[in-house]
């Protein structure tokens, strides 16, 4: 499952909680670990506040990470041709043409 699907599910859950929860409802909790004072929490506000950045992020277009094209060097092509026993210049031209086509498709 990709990140956008997870973000959408979390947003829907928070929006449902905010919709169902009465804005006047409050819960009192004690601050953890320090045994400090009691804090009043409004679940409706917590859900609404948590949903806002998710909604904002999902409204942005999906970003694709694109890597810089790194083609073969002349030495790479010569080495491949030599390993395959393709010393003919036509094979080198063919490999370069294939690389150009791949670059065009992937950039």
Flag whether the pTM goes above 0.75.
Answer: no
C-alpha pair distances (Å), 20 with each of 9, 16, 28: 17, 6, 19
- The predicted pLDDT at position 34 comes to 67
Residue spans per domain, the chain: 3-59, 74-106
Give CA separation, 90 vs 15, 81, 82, 84, 95, in Å.
63, 10, 13, 13, 9
Q: In angstroms, what CA-CA distances link 104 with 25, 57, 69, 97? A: 59, 31, 10, 11
pLDDT digits (tens, 9 = 90+) for 55-90: 998 998 877 666 777 888 888 888 888 888 876 778
Better-predicted residue by pLDDT, 74 or 50: 50
Q: How far apart are CA 42 and CA 21, in angstroms?
A: 9
């Amino acid at each position: 499952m990709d990140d956008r699907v997870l973000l959408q599910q979390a947003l829907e859950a928070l929006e449902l909680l905010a919709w169902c929860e009465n804005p006047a409802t409050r819960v009192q909790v004690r601050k953890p670990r320090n045994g400090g004072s009691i804090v009043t929490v409004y679940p409706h506000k917590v859900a609404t506040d948590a949903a806002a950045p998710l909604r904002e992020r999902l409204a942005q277009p999906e970003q694709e990470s694109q890597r810089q094209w790194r083609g073969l060097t002349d030495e790479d092509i010569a080495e491949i041709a030599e390993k395959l026993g393709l010393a003919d210049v036509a094979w080198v031209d063919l490999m370069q043409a294939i690389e150009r086509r791949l670059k065009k498709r992937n950039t």
